[in-house]
Chain A
Amino acid sequence: MSSKPEYDLFDHNTAAIIYGYQQNAIQRMLDFDYACKRDLPSVAAIVNPTGGGNHQGFWGSDIINIPIYKQLKDAVTHHPDADILINFASRRSAYQVTIEAISFPSIRTISIIAEGIPEHRTKEIIARAKQNEKMIIGPATVGGIKAGAFKIGDTGGTLDNLIESKLHRPGHVAYLSKSGGMSNELSNIIARNTDGVYEGIALGGDRFPGSSYLDHFKRYEANPDVKMMVMLGEVGGRAEYEIVEALKNGTITKPLVAWCMGTSSEQFSTGVQFGHAGAKAHSDFETARAKNKALKEVGAIVPESFNDLDRKIKETYQSLLQQGKLEPAQDVEPLLVPMDYNQAVAQGLIRKKPNFTSTIVDDRGEELLYCGVPISEVFEEDYGLGGVLGLLWFKMKLPEWAAKFLEMVVLITADHGPAVSGAHNTIVTTRAGKDLVSSLVSGLLTIGPRFGGAVQGAAEIFTEYFYQDQTPKYMVNDMKVKKKNIQGIGHRIKSVTNPDMRVKIMKEYALKHFPVTETLDFALEVEKITTTKRDNLILNVDGCIGALCCDMLRGIGYTHEQVRNFVNLGGLNALFVLGRTVGLLAHIIDQKRIGQGLYRHPWDDILYMLPEHPDNQNN
């Protein structure tokens, strides 16, 4: 336990537990601590009901780990020196968290950030806190700050503002405000007109605040380092009259500059509800004007208007100085806290070449963009699967005939039964109990020169000869000389007289809709030659897709060279992989659904043909 005097809630060693994983607020606290040259960070632990582990925060340029607990009691047990709980729980759970916190002897102060806690609950919190001698700051507050020592959560905003308002080292002026936003403004006003803030607390805008002006002014009265006080009250409620009483009976003797805002409220005919829940006068007594008057009568220094508040603060400070009642605080250089990368980028202070470049999709804005087209437009304009492939693969809005063709390819290549290599592998893997992705991938991995790769292979061969103005006849002969099969030609069963319906459908579609069919025409010439040799050496489905893909690309404006480039980067394999993925997934689902067990290949289907044991081999 720290040895600070009773009147101090915070000092240079104060440690807090943060309830709620408020990463920005936590980092701002750490930055403040670092700039103030604290020995240790003020955030001892974090409570996050949905996760444990550690929070990595910056301490200057270094990274520190702050433990995260799921339960408040664990955080309290492990960090008995932390005597403040900063409660960021929502208005729904702030009550339970606070009541629990009150029960721990090591917690001395609780700051409640949430706005909109039910009034009965807040009143119970206040009563229990009083019973257990705990200080409550809030609810509905940003918190408070002790200059050069400790700040609650977001109080004071960003570091540049904290330093501009000289909050990194103590001055001699303590202030209280209901409003959190105005508390930050008060820090600024005080920094510009005196030697700076000693401490400032925002009591919160609720009807029932957890601590009152008087609770804190009594502490400041007792604290010899506080030389003057500032109070920003407001219309509504009676709390300011406690201060009137305290000034009258001598509980407060230090100079107090006070202003209650909301003086204009009674000048409007309709009852305007000002910013805070408590800010409405229910009687003349509760008006800001009456409060200002009462405060002035008992010796508070009250300006004519908020606009003169700065002047009154300055005068009061100057007079203390002249009376020799205070020694102005020395300016201290804060430790330099490195700027956050994101902030530096936003301000255009730094630059860096990115490690990644993407030219097709952008997910950063209001809407996902596919090649510049918002996702909503993709649906409004009915892009369909083919249209999206066009945007993502070819970076263009495809004409309808081309988009439809791509969809046909996907439909036609979707599956070819369980016996082919890809499906077989997928089925065996699925039956071995592997997960969906592993099963899928084991099937996809078979796609290559012998299985499924013919689309790619056919396109390569056809374009190689055709684009170099070679004749079909030359090609057939050349392939024969090189002893290579022509990929895309030949079928196990289908023949000239028994055509493959898939090829027929695509051919007819292309001849009807494609502006260019040059590769198909070439392939059909090749077929004419090969089928004279054998009836089943027809242009097969892979060959047809390969040839037509090249023609489609020509049709949407590709040059021969661009088509070759696309083919060479494996683009046509992509179409087969896409289509067949549908089928492979279907086999996985099918196998799992019917609950097939582990597959073991039967011995009698394997030819075991081992040599003799080497020792027995005759030499």
Chain B
Amino acid sequence: MAQRPIREYAAKMMLARNWRDYFPSSLTFPAKFVPVSPESDLKLLSDQYEWLSTEPLVVKPDMVIGKRGKHGLVLLNQDWKGAKKWLEEKRGQEITINNLSGALNHFLIEPFVEIDKEYYLSFSSTDEGTDILFSDRGGVDIEDLLEKGEVAKLTIGILDDIDTIDLENILFSNVELEYRNKLTNLVKSFYKYYLDLHYAFLEINPFVLKENAFIPLDFKCRLDDAADFEAASKWGEIVYPPEFGAKLTPEEEYIKNLDEKSGSSLKFTILNPEGKIWTMVAGGGASVVYTDTIADLGFVDEIANYGEYSGNPSTDETYQYAKTILDLMTRRKNPDGEAKYLIIGGGIANFTDVAKTFTGIIKALEDYRDKLTETPVKIYVRRGGPNYQQGLNQMKQLGQNIGLPIKVFGPETHMTEIVRMALSEQGA
């Protein structure tokens, strides 16, 4: 459950679908935009949308990339021929932004709009409520606007009624009189829309008012995906795009799917596949502490993964989870012949059944017995909670039965002490 960005196309579609329910009839939203996905056939688009051939166009990637203009990724004021040529060139092109690389594959085409006055508007959630930022000098970064003191800010408390607040004087005192009323209506409507549809952040920079038309030129937003059950009908079908440059390995993808299907939590990120220290830790808090401790002891470069399982996963889920990690860590022997370390850690569970979750891990360890011996892998276990004695005994038994070096500790040993023990073997 988190705040997740959506594509500009999805955000504008959502706005178009809900426009009548939230915005006054005196304002219109000419929803003119065409998405280009990897499946789109450019030749067919101009038949489908006649205005593409008759109007000047803007084309830009729609992949949750910030500051597209600065990165030269916005094509302005071109006819369809030029746009098509540009798209043909850019589609599939590998680009690098902030050290993250990815191929361009989603775009948005819109009519080019002559601008005389551009506005900035954003909503963001804070502890106190919602911050509304407005500027009549939009089109540049908010940081720059803030620096120049050209932004009006208003915090609306959670229980406040926006209709009782004097927006005109707080936000629009700089704006020409004839626009104030229009903007007040627009912002009030947007605020209700923002709350009702469970946005966590929404920034329109810039937008233009042409007669009665509201024309947003750039739209950036995040939804609170926890609100699915309240807002799904207003959202329509939502596909959350992957973070730009984020490429999940098949193993990460596999655990992600497992996690999405489960009522429990299963997380897994590979940090360094060549690392010597692998962790399989129970609990969102404990997993962080284990990772910290390895780093604190000077082995940050050897941390192979981050992950956690929690919320009482089933035996089969921990089995699949453990197998994925064991498989990755035993694919290659250490070049220097030294051992790799597996930290099966955790705090003292409140309600997760330790024996049950360990049964799955033990089954995976048995499956990988030969590979673990060959690599070789040394295992340190520390855990407490319901049925932990049984779980720890099973681990000890396993060590004896299949001849693996497994050291097992309970709540009497400080949680992260096994990290120190393992790393001191490494000559820390």
Interface check A269, CB cutoff 8 A: yes
Query: Is there an interface contact between A118 and B198, defined as CB atoms closer than 8 Å?
Result: yes
Query: Is there an interface contact between A155 and B1, defined as CB atoms closer than 8 Å?
Result: no
CB within 8 Å: A-B pair count? 195
Given contacts A127-B159, A264-B292, A307-B414, contact A181 B224 (CB under 8 A): no
Contacts of A157 in B (CB 8 A): 348-351, 384-386
Given contacts A126-B158, A234-B288, contact A346 B387 (CB under 8 A): yes
Interface check A92, CB cutoff 8 A: yes
Interface residues of A (CB under 8 A from B): 24-25, 91-92, 115-121, 123-124, 126-128, 131, 142, 154-158, 161, 164-165, 177-182, 184-185, 187-189, 192, 205, 207-208, 232, 234-235, 261-265, 267-270, 272-277, 279, 288, 304-307, 310, 343, 346-347
Query: Is there an interface contact between A124 and B385, defined as CB atoms closer than 8 Å?
Result: no
- Encoded as 1 (CB less than 8 Å from any A CB) or 0, chain B from 167 to 203 comes to 0000000000000000000000000000100101000
Chain B residues numbered 373-387 whose CB sits less than 8 Å from any CB in chain A:
384-387
Query: Is there an interface contact between B158 and A306, defined as CB atoms closer than 8 Å?
Result: no
A166 to chain B, nearest CB (A): 12
Name the residue of chain B whose CB is nearest to the CB of A93.
B229
Query: Is there an interface contact between A115 and B351, defined as CB atoms closer than 8 Å?
Result: no
- Encoded as 1 (CB less than 8 Å from any A CB) or 0, chain B from 329 to 355 comes to 000000000000000001111110001
Interface of B, helix, strand, loop or mixed by DSSP: mixed
A552 to chain B, nearest CB (A): 42
Q: Contacting B416 at CB < 8 Å: which of A126, A128, A269, A306?
A: A306
Distance between Cα atoms of A131 and B157 in the complex (Å): 12
Query: Is there an interface contact between A185 and B415, defined as CB atoms closer than 8 Å?
Result: yes
Given contacts A118-B227, A127-B157, 15 further A-B contacts (CB under 8 A): A119-B227, A123-B127, A154-B351, A157-B384, A158-B387, A181-B282, A181-B284, A181-B346, A181-B348, A234-B285, A262-B288, A264-B288, A264-B296, A279-B284, A307-B416
Given contacts A305-B292, A307-B293, contact A272 B271 (CB under 8 A): yes
Contacts of B10 in A (CB 8 A): none
Query: Is there an interface contact between B289 and A268, defined as CB atoms closer than 8 Å?
Result: no
Given contacts A120-B195, A120-B198, A123-B125, contact A264 B295 (CB under 8 A): yes
Distance between Cα atoms of A268 and B288 in the complex (Å): 13
Interface check B132, CB cutoff 8 A: no
Distance between Cα atoms of A185 and B384 in the complex (Å): 9
Name the residue of chain A whose CB is nearest to the CB of B347.
A185
A351 to chain B, nearest CB (A): 17
Interface check B241, CB cutoff 8 A: no
Query: Is there an interface contact between B294 and A264, defined as CB atoms closer than 8 Å?
Result: yes
Query: Is there an interface contact between B288 and A277, defined as CB atoms closer than 8 Å?
Result: no
Top 3 nearest A-B pairs by Cβ distance? A275-B284, A179-B285, A185-B347
Q: Contacting A156 at CB < 8 Å: which of B195, B350, B411?
A: B350
Name the residue of chain A whose CB is nearest to the CB of B127.
A208
Distance between Cα atoms of A303 and B225 in the complex (Å): 37
Contacts of A305 in B (CB 8 A): 292-293, 296-297, 416
Query: Is there an interface contact between B286 and A347, defined as CB atoms closer than 8 Å?
Result: no
Contacts of B355 in A (CB 8 A): 346
Contacts of B198 in A (CB 8 A): 118-120
Q: Contacting A91 at CB < 8 Å: which of B129, B226, B297?
A: B226
Name the residue of chain B whose CB is nearest to the CB of A276.
B284
Q: Contacting A272 at CB < 8 Å: which of B127, B226, B306, B420?
A: B306
Distance between Cα atoms of A192 and B417 in the complex (Å): 14
* Max chain A C-beta neighbours (<10 A), residue from B198, B291, B412: B291
B389 to chain A, nearest CB (A): 8
Contacts of A142 in B (CB 8 A): 350-351
Contacts of B282 in A (CB 8 A): 181
